[in-house]
Structures are given as structure tokens and as C-alpha cells.
Structure 1
């Protein structure tokens, strides 16, 4: 029995602090007191048993306790106990004290060196393991045995150091130990981990001794290389050679075959092989079979295998739940919800879920939009202590973001301590998708402040955020960072960059980006076609689509949408219907609401309102407000007041809480002279607490963002900007025959009258500030959240001609490029 009172060993005592010079030193402890601290030593077998227990349990505290007792008892262990103590330190991961113990050993043997090398290798320090092997070879008194070579070869494989592994292999050959299956298997494993598959096969073919491990290592090597077809051939070879197939080999080959496509015969053959060798009830093999079937769409077979396994554990539950999660966007949510029932069954059986369980079941909740179920699973995550896991945190961020609960996503993001780059990307993407682009840019700045390197997907999301903000300076800054970091070489970033420049109205930069993309994909072509379309270059858009077809690029729905936008914006009826029919008949695409809206706008563009209305009714989407808004714009432009009022009243029924519908119907009634109905509409709007959205125009000048609110005179630069606009309009009146003042009938007799007329058009004030701020050769770009009025549109045409400047206005409908007195929309918007 160990005495209950224990003290630190001598080398663990606290440092002695000398007494003050004026104080007398403490009296020396009598020599007899030191003898009282000495403990009686134990039998060597007791120490050995104690150290074996510490080594198996990887208990550093038990190893230190045994070592301390030896020191205090004055016991000097022999080589056997010292090796046991060294093994206990190495297994517990305390390599610092293991090395100190090793260096202090008066005598060492092969076991000592093997233990030290294995300790370094297990702790992920292969370089130190190789250094210890070199020291062992210099020690002439010790000869390396097969365990030494097996250990050092494992270290080379862990470090992916094939060159050092080849050296160790050569030494094993010289020593004659490479002939044994034990060492040759270690060499095969080392070459496989280093990716040297030719050496693996050569060594296997020339091996003098082979066992089941040799075959399994060859099989694993081909699986690791991603060659499942060859792995299947090796399995057949194993069977014909009479090698017994074990659970490890079958599980590895099943995992490899899960990556094979169109290999149903191979999967059935392997399943039959598993049943024949009697491992169909094995949990390890069963999990691999479930994963194999689930990954390849065989969910029914996976369920059958799952139900047949008697002792189900969390691994096979994870494989089954992940199978339901892999169904992706399957149209049957009832099938996917089975994963939640499996999760509930797992809890009922008191099986502790792992982080992979939570990851898969949260993915299922995300696919089925089951946010309430996801909240309950989130509570289980917290109770299980997995809230800090970055993979689960990422799944929760996506779950709440898809449900438009961006604040909840942000809370999950902040509660994830170890944020990998995909966690940042998910949060940034969530902000972008749900119109929090400014927060996405700020989060990217925080990412860079922490000196974390983004990936190409994060960069693409940030570019999309800058595109949504429509601020040129931010777009140029993120473009510069992408070039500096090399992300501009990726196609996904180039595509986002085209969209970014398209949305700020810089068509030249978008075209230049398109030409620089080395590997164009379908989205690249489609984005460039759309860029030409929305900026009024329909000829270039149709030519690029024809070139896309000639180059054999795969055409998708988005490409057809881009070309239909080009046709609708310019009223190309024949071309538009030809492309629409080709999309349906030749390519088999089902038109969505965006395609149909383009056709409605196309018919409305040429004044065929009745045909456009019939087209809506035949589309099967007669209750979609987007289509009726497109037709309503055509009615307003062509002066079809009766049809416009009918459509406005229909929109009031379809979206009774949209303020824009009330404002639109009010204007329609006023234009038709139905004052009482107009006042009733305004009263309904006031009763329901709805207000008209304020018109805002903004632009970037001199590195700053300037905003102008329609009808607001509180801007600090309003007075001087208003004066500048007056001067511009007077100059235009002098240069043109009809004069810009006739647009509104303004005479500028009084500043008050001028303010009431001009200040309600914030885009005019923004253009005036741009004309007075920017260089004469630079175009003026202004963004607006509402459609321009006819008065503002006509005035900007006159300004572009009088000032000889290009003026670009982006409103919700389209881009307007004003140049030399004309607009790219050809007065249809």
C-alpha cells in the first residue's frame, strides 16, 4: 500500500527564495527529517503493472505518480521498467519528459528507441521521429529490428516524406528484414500514404511473403488514390487467390464503390459477396453498404440493409440520415422528413448522437424548410455540447438564413469560436441573399482584419454584395483585391465580377472581364449576354448568344432569360418568340415566371396589350403579380387607361398590403379623371397604415456616397447643387430650340417655385453634382430606387446633349444611357 501522505519529488519543488539580508536564515532541517520523507519501494512487478495500466489508459497523471514514487523511494529501476515508464509518457503524449527520461537512461536497447520513435510519430512529429531513427543508427550498440523499421516507415508515411521512406526501405533491404511480411507491409503502407502507387504495386508483386494485411493495404492504396474500378479488380483477385475477406477490406471497397456512378451491377455483386462471407450483419460493413446505396440514389436498398442490422449504433444511423440529406432538392419532402424520424428513434434508443448526426439532420431541416424542427435540434446540440463545432455552426447559419432569420444566423456565427473560412462564407452569403449587402461587406472587412485568407467562394459572395450596393468605389476596391490575391483567375469570381460591373453600369469593364476569363462557362456567357441586354445593346447580345451556340457551350435557362431580356427591351417580337419556342421545344426547358414576364413585356412593348393579357392567362400563372406589373407598365406607356385600371384593381386584390399597388392605382384613377376613386384609394392606404416608399437617388463622387431624397431640402449641399442645376438647365435652354424649361413649364421666377418643382427629382440633383465634380471625360452614374418620371427622363436627355456627357441612370426597370440627346431605352421604360 502506498502511504497516504505524499510530497512533490525533488525536481518539482518550488524555487527557494533567499531570506532578507537583515534576517537570520531559517535553521537547517535536521538530517533525520530527510530520512522520514523516504518511502518504501515497491516490488518491480507492482511498478510494471501500474505503468502498464497508465499506458493503456494514456494517463499522464498515473505515469507521473509512479515516477515520483520511484524517485522518493530511491528506487533505481532496471531497463525493463525504464522502457515501461518511457512508453507510459509517450502514450500519454508528454514527449518532453519522455525525451528527458530517455536521455538519462544509462543503457538503451531496441525497445527504447522504438518506443521513442513511435511516440514522436503518434504525436504528429515525423521529423523528430526520423531524427531519432538516425540517432539510433549512430548508436552502434543497438541494432534496429523490424519494429524499428515499421515505426520509422509509419513516420515517413505520416509526413508524406517519400524520399526518407525510400531511404528507410533501402536500409531494411540491406538488413534483410524487408523480406518479412511485417516490414514489407509497412513499406507498402508508407508508399500508399505518399501517393506512390507504382511503388506500391511493384513491391506487392515482388513480395516474398504476403498475408491478408498485404492485400488489404493494396486495396486501400487504390481506394485512397480514387481508383475504385481497380480496387474492385483487386477484390476479385483476392477472392480467386483464396484470401479471406474481412470486414476491413469489404468496408473499404464498399466506400470506394459509393463514388462510382452507373455501377449498379458492381454494387449488387459486392452486396452478394458480403452476404456470402457472412458479414451482412456486421455494423461496420453494414454502415458502408448503407452509405454506398444512399449516395447513389438507392434509398430503398439502404433502408432494407439498415433494418436487417441487429445491433445498430450511431455510425449506421449517421449513414442512414446522411442518405436522406443527400436527396438534395427532391420534390418529395415527406421522404426527407424520414431522417427526422430516424433521429427521434435514435434518441428513444438512448444512443448518443455525434456531430455528424446533427450535421446531417440539420441539412434535412434546411432542405425541407423545417425551421421549427431545426430549432429543437439546435437545443439538442447545445445540450450535447456541440455548439462550438464549426461544421454544426455552419449548418445552423444556413438553416436560419434560408428562413430569413438573419439575426439568428449571426448569433450562431458569433457563438462559433473556431470559425473556418466556410463559416465566414456562409454568413456573408446569408447577408447577400437577403439584402443585407452592407453587413456582408463589413463582415468581409472583419475577416481581413483578422488576417484570414478568404477562398474564391467568399470572394464571389462579396462581389455580389458590392454589386447589390451599386457603389462603384467598393466594386473597384474588391476588384483590386481580387487581382492582388489571384482570385481573378477563378471563373466563379470572374462571373461575379461581370455581374458587379453590369449592375453599376460599367459595360466596358464587364466586357473586359469577360474577355480575360480563361475558362468560360455557361454562366459567363449568360452574364455577358444579360449585360448587353440591360444596357440597350440587343444586337451584341443576340450575336453573343449565337456565338455561344456555335462554340458548343451548354445552354441553360438563364442564357435564354438573358436573350429574352434583350428582345423584350427593344421590342424584337419575331426573334423573341423564336427563342422562346426554341427553349421549350428544342431544349425542353419549362419557362418560369421570369421568362413569361419577358414575353409579356415584349408584347406590351409593341402595343399588343390584349395578346399579352391572353399570354398571362394561358401561362398558368395568372395570379403572379410580376406578370401583371409588366403589363401595367405597357398600359401606362401606351395610354390604355381602362385596361390599366382593371389590372391595378386586380393587383390590389393580389397584394393588398403593398404600398406600390395603391400608389399605382391612385395615379391611374387620377389620369382617368376618376377623382373620387382616387381619394378612396388614398383613404384605404391611410387606414391600413401604409406609406409610399421615399424616392432615393445616390451616387459616388470623390470617394464619398451622396444621397438625395426626393422632395427633401435638408441636404447640406442642396443649395449649391440646386444652383448648379439651375445653371445647367438655363444653358440647355439657350443651346436647344425647344428648351428644357418647357418640360415642366418652369421659369425660375422664384427660388421657392423652383425648389418645389426640381427638388422632388433627386436624380437630377445627383447628376448636377456629378457634372460639377467629375472630370469632363468621366460618365456620371446615378442609382435610383424608383422608376424615373417622364419629366426627369426628358430633362436628362437634354442635359446629355447640352453638356456633351454620358449620363447613366439605373432604376428598378433598367439602365438608361443618356448620350447626345437620346436614351438607350428608346423612351420605353
Structure 2
């Protein structure tokens, strides 16, 4: 009896491999005769097989172009033609599937092969390695060594060593190295180079040098791999010594070696002599016109500020491609903040030149150009680059998406940033961090916190920069309970160990009015930097502890910590809040003469506030005129505050009229000038100002006060009676004021003219002071020992200030109010501002 005909293993592959472009036909109907079934029709339509060379050519092309469809088509034709390929064609088919990334069917094909050789195993191992499956590659290597019919060769060891290097698996790589030594194949330079490359990728530099020194055979690749290993380790000085050693040993310096050492030296600082030496070496060996080496030289000069040299190298290289354009454009993007925009915009001209030469830009090109647009605030140009990103199909690149988010966020186009964020895959945490930062910078701190909650819901791990941005959002909102929750999360995640998060945490607690928590955070930071000290000095200054701020600055100076302009700003704020004129001017002059800092508008505003604090309003005005910033509205606002407190009404009216010319579109200017005219008794001018405001469609910004009680934020608008909690808060405030009046002896003060005795909230002037209602709600909600912290977007009125002083004394509670001017700590009938705000 003859044996049944065995079906080749590849015939049992899934049907879509045999017919990749067809769907399987439906099962035949029962009434259909057998000879009419599709199965019999396929038997009658068997295709004639092609020549083996044709199959081989198709499979080689599929491997080279990574075309899985072509590989399946060639395989399908073999099956339909009933062709039984030999070992050579089977290996080609296996290589095609492996290089196209279809390892599942490559393994099915491999398991069905009647016989295998070393090429079969090497192809399978290489396929697993290229897909990042180091474990499967090592398993295939173990199976190959067990196959008695196959003798593993040097290519097998090179492949498995490459898999270990890609997976950073030094332990398995060391074992493979030992087997190569035992087999005697490690003596060849081919295997030695694979071992060196594996150890270098695993970061085992000592093993790299040991293998190189004991190698029986070395070639140029061995030297280049040693050089690249030191470059990868970040040791450019050693890499330069290896290059000198290569030259003295008579090894020919090629583009690979010189490109690697140039890349390493681009990270060297203050090494102009080394860069010039390497440039001369490149010219001597005749590689100065090589595009690869030229790109490395451009990158080396551009990263170290040698932009003129980079341009000269760029202009001399013929046949410029996208790589050298990328290096040159990135050089302009790395110039920092000092060069003028006209220099940086050359990067955009380079990009336009690249397009004129019909060179297709890469992802790195677009990213670098977008960074230049971001640095130069060229939003219109950035939109055009964004269009190129869409046309090129690069919207799925997170680095480009991140650059677009930052570009639009800097231009305060947060909606455009959000659209870019939604179109980005969002796999990397820096994309989330950029969008959170965009919300914070645009004043949408609630949205920033909601985005952070979404990030945690998706189980993504934030980093220290994300936590710093979230803390900045909490600082802007000044929500104490949320701040404590973010702090707890930072501690549990270990982010509190980073100085960056510690500094943001100091600012967060400073903005919520919790000076004790800010001080405790400062003391726990293990590595204090300049910003840490400056933040703590500022925290003391704005919370009424000016002496502690100045003592901390002295301690900072004694410790040798480098100071900056922000440090001096914190010191000047401390001096202005306490009225220390002599000490304030001494620090101001020291900042200019001893440290060479140019005062900005904030420093000058502190000095104006300092002079106004001691009643020297005329001197403050002269100081503004001498500063060279007399057209900055911030300075005149500071002087106007001094006029109001010191009762200089005539000067205040003049300053108000000047602010009208400086800020004609600001509603606050009209409101302020109206109040100044009313205080000065100029009723007609006040009415005219109000009429101008009405004609131009300007409305006064609503005063809003808010606080966080019981895990939720309670908000009150001045004069708005729509809040459901307002009647209860008003009743509570009325009870508090009556009780305070009974306990204290201040019944004759004008504060009682607020008319709290009225029954209807709409008829009561207290309803115009939202901060009082929030304080009343806090006093009735929070425990008796907890301070009440309230935020307000406008300066407090005198009536509210005096009322809160009485409430703090009568209720024996600390009340903290933060307004745009400063913090007010009310305790035992007094305020930390000493009635100057």
C-alpha cells in the first residue's frame, strides 16, 4: 500500500497568506454538484510555477523594500502552483517575513521546514533581534546549539550578541561571549567586533577595553567601535586620546571615526583648541567635503557658539542633504536668548532654501524650525510650518507636537495648543507637561489640574517637571487643601527629593499664605540652589516678616550662594514693605554696581513703593523719570498707590490722567480716574469719565473672592446676590459683627456705617465686599484653631480692612487675605501690612 501524499508544511499556513488579496469564498451549498465547487475549480486552475531565480528576485526585493504584501504574493504563487521550494528559497522566504516584521508567520514557516541550516537559524535569530524580542532570540540561539545537524557559525554569534546589546542584557551577552571563546570563533575580528559593540551598548566600558586589548585580530571597525564606546559613555577626552592612538598605530581615519569624535567633542566646553585640531585633521585626510563629517563639524561648532565657523563649513560642502541642513538649523535654535531675532531668523531662510532645492524635510528639520519660531515669537511663520507638518504626515510625532504646543502657548493661543495636544499620541510625559504649562501660563489653572487628574486616571507616571507645573497651578489658584494633596502625592512618589519640586512647593505654600509649611519645605531641601533661597526670602517678605527675610539674605551671602536679579527683587520687596529706605537703596546700588545687573521694571517699582512708604512721593516721581522707564504703567500704578495712602490728591489726579494715556483700553484706568476725581471733588470730570467708559463699551472687572472649604472652592462676586450661599453667609457675618461690636469698644468707628443692620442683602453695602462673606463662611465652617485663608482679585477697600481687623480680635482667629498688592495677616486686631497697601 502506497503512503499517502504529505502536504508541505507551508501549505498549512493561514488562508490569507495563500490568498492575501482575496476573501475566503463561502461554503458550497449542499445542492451544488461536487465538480462545480470552488475547491475543484482551483484544482483545474493550477498556475504554472515560475523559475527559482524569479522567486528569489521577488523575495530579495520584498526583503529590501520591507514589502510584506510582495512576500505574501510570492509565497501564495508557490502554493497555488504546487511548487516545492528548496532550502535556499525557503531561507529567502524566511528572511522576507523576518525583515518585514511578521515574526509569527516566519516562525510557522521555520517550524515547517523539513531541513534547516545555519542560515535558517541566523535569519530567525536576526528577525527576533530586529523586533526587540531579545528573549525569543536567545531561546532560538539555545535551540540552534541543540540542533546536532547544524553547526552555529560566527554569524550566529554576531546576531545573538547584537540582540543582547539591543536589550542591554549584559549577563546573557557575557554568556554568549564565553560560548564564542569556547568555540574558537572569538579569535576572528568579526566576532570580536560584535562582542565590543555588545559590551559598549550595555555600558560595560571596562569589558570593552579588556576585549579590545586581548583581541588577536583587529581591524578599522574594532578601533571605531572602541572610539564610539567612549563617545557613548560621555568621555570625549578619552575618545580624543583613542583617536591619537589610532593615528600613531597607522590606522586609517575614516568618516565613521571622525564623525564619532566630532560628535563627542560637540559636548566639550571651553575646548576650542581641540575643535580646531580635529578640523585640521579632517582637512588633512581629505574628508572636509564629506557630508557626514561636515554635518558633525557643523553640529560641533553650532553647539559651542561658533556660528560663523559652522556657516563657513556649511557653505563649503557640496551636495548638501537634509542632515547637514538639520545640523545648521539646529545650531540657530541653540543660540539661547541673547542673540537678536534677526540672527535666529536665518534658520527660517535656510529652511526655505531647503524647500527650494526640493529636499524633503525630516521630523528633526521641522522640530528645529518650530523651536526657532518659538524663540522669536514668529507665530505666523510657525503656522506655515505647522501646515508643512500636516502635509508631511508628521502630526503623530510627539516632539513636533510638543514644539507646536509651546509655540501657541507662548502666543497665548491656548485653544490652538489644545488642538495640537489632542492630535498628538501623548505617549510621552513631556507632552502632558507642555499642555499643563500652557494652561498655567494662560491663567487656566483649573484646566491644568483637571488635565493632571486625567493623566493620573490613564495611569501615566508624571515626572518632576510635571509636578512643578501642577504646583504652579495650585499657586495661582491658592487652594490650600489641593496644595496639601499635591504635596502628599509628591512625597509618596519621591518627587519631594528634587530641588525643582521643592522650590515650586515653597512658592505654592507662599501663595496660599502658609508660611510655616514654606519654611519647613525650605529646611527639607537637601540641595538648595539660588532659587530656593530667593523663594524663601520672598516668602518672608510678602508675609510681613521683613527682618527674617533680610537675615536670610545675609546668611545666603555668607554661605557663598550666587545671587541673581530675582534674589535682589525679594530683598527690595522686604525693604519696601518695612520702609527701610537706606538699606533698600544700599542693596539697589549693590545690585547695579557690584553685580552688574540692569534693574527691570519690578526693581524700580519696589523703590518707588519704598519711597512712597515713607511719604517721599515727589522723590518717587523723580526716581521714575530718571529710570528711563517713565512710559511703563506699572511704575505709575505704584506711585498712585503712594499718593492715595499719603493723601496727595492733586498728584494722584495727574497720575491717573497719565495712566489714561498709557492704558487707554484698560477699564481699570477709567474706574481709577473716576474715583480720583470723586475724592478730589471734581464731580463733572468724574461723570465725564464714566460717560466715556460707557460710550466705549467698557465694564469694570468684577471683584471676586474665593476660598477652599471642605474640599470645594467657594466663590463670591462683589455685589452679586445670585450665589445660593450668600444669604446664609450674610446672616453669619451680621451675627459676627454684632458680637464683635459687643465685645470691643470700637462702636464709634466708621466701619459700622456699612449698614449691616439691613435685612435684605440687596440693600446692604456689605454685599459689595465678597471677602467678608467668604471669611464669614470660613469662620462657621473651619475648626476653631484653623486660620481662614481667602483670595481676592482686587485690592481690599478700607472698610473691609478695618472690619477684618475687628473680626480677628473678636473671634481670636487668624485671617489671611491675599490681594494683588500683598498678603494681609489679620491677628488680634492688627494687620501685617501696617495699614500700607
**SS of equivalent to 2:572:** helix
Q: Greater CA deviation, 110-119 or 796-805? A: 110-119
Give unpaired runs (5+ residues) of structure 2.
Answer: 1-9, 16-22
Give the equivalent residue in structure 2 for 1:178: 186
Give the equivalent residue in structure 2 for 1:89: 97
Distance 1:753 1:159 in 2: 72
Distance 1:747 1:289 in 2: 78
Give the equivalent residue in structure 2 for 1:50: 58
Give the equivalent residue in structure 1 for 2:172: 164
How do 1:204-219 residues align onto structure 2 when only pairs under 5 Å count? 204-219=212-227
Distance 2:781 2:699 in 1: 34
Q: Are residue 36 (structure 1) and residue 44 (structure 2) matched?
A: yes
Give the equivalent residue in structure 1 for 2:290: 282
Q: Are residue 398 (structure 1) and residue 401 (structure 2) matched?
A: no
Distance 1:151 1:443 in 2: 45
**Alpha-carbon contact 1:9-1:72 (below 8 Å) kept:** no
**SS of equivalent to 1:745:** helix
Give the equivalent residue in structure 1 for 2:365: 357
Q: Are residue 771 (structure 1) and residue 789 (structure 2) matched?
A: no
Distance 1:286 1:778 in 2: 67
Give the equivalent residue in structure 2 for 1:137: 145
Quick one: which of 614, 626, 637 aligns to 2:645?
Answer: 637
How do 1:548-587 residues align onto structure 2 when only pairs under 5 Å count? 548-587=556-595
**SS of equivalent to 1:707:** strand
Offset at residue 446 of structure 1 (A)? 2.0
Give the equivalent residue in structure 2 for 1:187: 195
**Alpha-carbon contact 2:636-2:655 (below 8 Å) kept:** yes
Q: Are residue 704 (structure 1) and residue 712 (structure 2) matched?
A: yes
Give the equivalent residue in structure 2 for 1:4: none
Give the equivalent residue in structure 2 for 1:243: 251
**Alpha-carbon contact 1:695-1:786 (below 8 Å) kept:** yes
Distance 1:33 1:372 in 2: 64
Q: Are residue 668 (structure 1) and residue 707 (structure 2) matched?
A: no
Q: 1:100 to 1:417 in 2, by over 3 A?
A: same
Q: Are residue 121 (structure 1) and residue 151 (structure 2) matched?
A: no
Quick one: which of 304, 315, 319 aligns to 1:311?
Answer: 319
CA RMSD, Structure 1 to Structure 2 (Å): 2.1
Deviations 1:259-289 (A, max 9, x none): 1111111111111111111111111111111
**SS of equivalent to 1:623:** coil
Give the equivalent residue in structure 2 for 1:75: 83
Offset at residue 24 of structure 1 (A)? 5.6
Give the equivalent residue in structure 2 for 1:816: 824
**Alpha-carbon contact 1:498-1:513 (below 8 Å) kept:** yes
Give the equivalent residue in structure 2 for 1:5: none
Offset at residue 740 of structure 1 (A)? 6.6
Distance 2:396 2:196 in 1: 39
Distance 1:407 1:363 in 2: 19
Q: 1:724 to 1:119 in 2, by over 3 A?
A: closer
Q: Greater CA deviation, 738-747 or 431-440? A: 738-747
Quick one: which of 71, 77, 80 aligns to 1:63?
Answer: 71
Distance 1:73 1:760 in 2: 91
**SS of equivalent to 1:751:** coil
Deviations 1:135-157 (A, max 9, x none): 11112232221111111111111
Quick one: which of 685, 700, 703 aligns to 1:695?
Answer: 703
Q: 1:657 to 1:447 in 2, by over 3 A?
A: same
**SS of equivalent to 2:789:** strand
Distance 2:24 2:662 in 1: 83
Offset at residue 671 of structure 1 (A)? 1.8
Q: TM-score, normalised by structure 1?
A: 0.95
Give the equivalent residue in structure 2 for 1:654: 662
Q: Are residue 27 (structure 1) and residue 34 (structure 2) matched?
A: yes
Q: Are residue 802 (structure 1) and residue 772 (structure 2) matched?
A: no
Q: Are residue 107 (structure 1) and residue 115 (structure 2) matched?
A: yes
**SS of equivalent to 2:768:** coil
Offset at residue 752 of structure 1 (A)? 5.2
Q: 1:742 to 1:337 in 2, by over 3 A?
A: closer
Distance 2:65 2:697 in 1: 70
Give the equivalent residue in structure 2 for 1:450: 458
Q: 1:34 to 1:386 in 2, by over 3 A?
A: closer
Give the equivalent residue in structure 1 for 2:470: 462
**SS of equivalent to 2:217:** coil
Distance 1:692 1:59 in 2: 66
Give the equivalent residue in structure 1 for 2:836: 828
Quick one: which of 384, 387, 394 aligns to 1:386?
Answer: 394
**SS of equivalent to 2:753:** coil
Q: Are residue 714 (structure 1) and residue 688 (structure 2) matched?
A: no
Q: 1:52 to 1:675 in 2, by over 3 A?
A: closer
**Alpha-carbon contact 2:154-2:185 (below 8 Å) kept:** yes
Give the equivalent residue in structure 2 for 1:537: 545
Offset at residue 33 of structure 1 (A)? 6.3
Distance 2:763 2:408 in 1: 47
**Alpha-carbon contact 1:324-1:338 (below 8 Å) kept:** yes
Deviations 1:222-266 (A, max 9, x none): 101011111111111111111111111111111111111111111
Offset at residue 34 of structure 1 (A)? 6.9
**SS of equivalent to 1:634:** helix
Distance 2:432 2:384 in 1: 24
**Alpha-carbon contact 1:732-1:739 (below 8 Å) kept:** no
Give the equivalent residue in structure 1 for 2:228: 220
Q: 1:658 to 1:46 in 2, by over 3 A?
A: closer
Q: Greater CA deviation, 735-744 or 605-614? A: 735-744
Q: 1:618 to 1:825 in 2, by over 3 A?
A: same
**Alpha-carbon contact 1:733-1:741 (below 8 Å) kept:** no
Deviations 1:544-580 (A, max 9, x none): 1112122222211111111111111111112211221
Offset at residue 436 of structure 1 (A)? 1.4
Give the equivalent residue in structure 1 for 2:160: 152
**Alpha-carbon contact 1:9-1:68 (below 8 Å) kept:** no
How do 1:752-763 residues align onto structure 2 when only pairs under 5 Å count? 755-763=763-771
Offset at residue 9 of structure 1 (A)? 5.9
Distance 1:657 1:11 in 2: 75
Offset at residue 512 of structure 1 (A)? 1.7
Distance 1:560 1:133 in 2: 66
**Alpha-carbon contact 1:669-1:677 (below 8 Å) kept:** yes
Q: TM-score, normalised by structure 2?
A: 0.94
Offset at residue 472 of structure 1 (A)? 1.9
Give the equivalent residue in structure 1 for 2:20: none
Distance 2:417 2:757 in 1: 56
**Alpha-carbon contact 2:755-2:766 (below 8 Å) kept:** no
Deviations 1:478-511 (A, max 9, x none): 2222223222222111211111111111111211
Q: Are residue 620 (structure 1) and residue 636 (structure 2) matched?
A: no
Deviations 1:344-383 (A, max 9, x none): 1111111111111111111111111111111111112212
Q: 1:208 to 1:741 in 2, by over 3 A?
A: same
Offset at residue 45 of structure 1 (A)? 3.6
Quick one: which of 483, 506, 511 aligns to 2:519?
Answer: 511
Give the equivalent residue in structure 2 for 1:377: 385
Q: Greater CA deviation, 754-763 or 384-393? A: 754-763
**Alpha-carbon contact 2:755-2:764 (below 8 Å) kept:** no
How do 1:483-494 residues align onto structure 2 when only pairs under 5 Å count? 483-494=491-502
Deviations 1:310-360 (A, max 9, x none): 101111111111111111213411111111111111111111111111111
Distance 1:17 1:650 in 2: 87
Count residues in correspondence: 820
Distance 2:228 2:163 in 1: 18
